């Protein structure tokens, strides 16, 4: 059945076809929001910073 298309696909095609002349001015509902996510959690980042900063302070105090 090469002539049949899914109604959802037709609806999406129509939405993007109407925006072809609005480059740079596309509605925000058609764009996906990018969320900034850390590769590690805040707790893990805190532990790593505590270890790194704490050990560097400890080494500085050792030389005094």
> Is 44 within a domain?
yes
Domain count of the fold of the chain: 1
> Is 64 within a domain?
yes
pLDDT of residue 54: 94
pLDDT of residue 22: 67
pLDDT of residue 1: 52
> Is 56 within a domain?
yes
Query: Are 52 and 45 contacting, i.e. CB atoms less than 8 angstroms apart?
Result: no
- The Cα–Cα gap between 21 and 11 comes to 18
pLDDT of residue 27: 64
> Is 19 within a domain?
no
- The Cα–Cα gap between 39 and 16 comes to 33
Q: Could you read off the pLDDT tens digit of each residue along the chain, which spans 64 residues?
A: 566 678 888 888 887 777 666 666 666 665 666 677 778 889 999 999 999 999 999 999 988 8
pLDDT of residue 38: 73
Structural domain of 53: 40-64
Q: pTM, whole model, 2 decimals?
A: 0.42
> Is 34 within a domain?
no
């Amino acid at each position: 059945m090469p002539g049949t298309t899914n109604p959802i696909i037709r609806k999406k095609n129509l939405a993007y076809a109407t925006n072809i002349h609005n480059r740079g001015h596309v509605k925000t509902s058609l764009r996906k929001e990018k969320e900034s996510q850390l590769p590690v959690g805040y707790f893990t980042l805190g532990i790593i910073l505590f270890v790194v900063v704490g050990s560097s302070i400890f080494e500085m105090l050792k030389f005094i």
